[in-house]
Amino acid sequence: MKKILSLAIVVFVVFQSASAQTAFKNMKYGHVVNVSLPEYMTRTLGLNDNASFQFHNVPKDVSGFIVEDNKEELIIADMKFADAQEFYDNFAKGFLEDQPSRKFSKPDVRKVNGNTYIHSDFSYFDEEAKLDIYYYVGVIETPTTFYKLICFTSSAQKETYKPDFDKIMMSIND
pLDDT of residue 23: 74
135 and 169 in contact (C-beta within 8 Å)? no
In a domain, 1, yes or no: no
In a domain, 56, yes or no: yes
pTM of the entire predicted model: 0.81
Pairwise CA distance, residues 23 & 125, whole Å: 58
In a domain, 153, yes or no: yes
Q: φ and ψ at 142, to 5 degrees? A: -110, 175
Would you place residue 26 in the very low, low, confident or very high pLDDT band (cuts 50, 70, 90)? confident
Q: What is the CA 80 to chain-centroid distance, rounded? A: 16
H/E stretch holding 120 reads strand 115-126
Given a cut of 70, whether residue 137 has pLDDT beyond it is yes
Number of domains in the chain: 1
Q: Higher confidence at residue 23 or residue 28?
A: 23
Residues of the domain holding 167:
26-171
Sign, Cα dihedral of 96, 98, 103, 106? positive
Would you place residue 39 in the very low, low, confident or very high pLDDT band (cuts 50, 70, 90)? very high
In a domain, 21, yes or no: no
Each residue of 89-132: pLDDT tens digit? 999 999 999 998 999 999 999 999 999 999 999 999 999 989 99
> Strand 62-70 vs strand 131-141: parallel, antiparallel, or unpaired?
unpaired
- Percent of the chain with pLDDT strictly greater than 90: 78
In a domain, 2, yes or no: no
pLDDT of residue 11: 52
Pairwise CA distance, residues 9 & 14, whole Å: 9
Q: CATH number for the domain including 82?
A: 3.40.1000.10
| 62-79 average pLDDT score | 96
Mean pLDDT computed over every residue of the chain: 89
Q: φ and ψ at 106, to 5 degrees? A: -65, 140
Would you place residue 12 in the very low, low, confident or very high pLDDT band (cuts 50, 70, 90)? low
In a domain, 43, yes or no: yes
Cβ-based burial of 85 (10 A; exposed 0-12, middle 13-18, buried ≥19):
middle
H/E stretch holding 66 reads strand 62-70
| Residue 151 CB contacts under 8 Å (≥ 6 apart), including other chains | 62, 63, 64, 135, 136, 161, 165, 168
Sign, Cα dihedral of 10, 15, 20, 23? positive
In a domain, 80, yes or no: yes
State how far the alpha carbon of 130 is from the alpha carbons of 18, 40, 135, in Å: 68, 26, 16
Would you place residue 14 in the very low, low, confident or very high pLDDT band (cuts 50, 70, 90)? low
pLDDT of residue 56: 97
Helix (H, G, I), strand (E, B) or coil at 50: coil
Q: For residue 24, which amino acid is it?
A: F
In a domain, 147, yes or no: yes
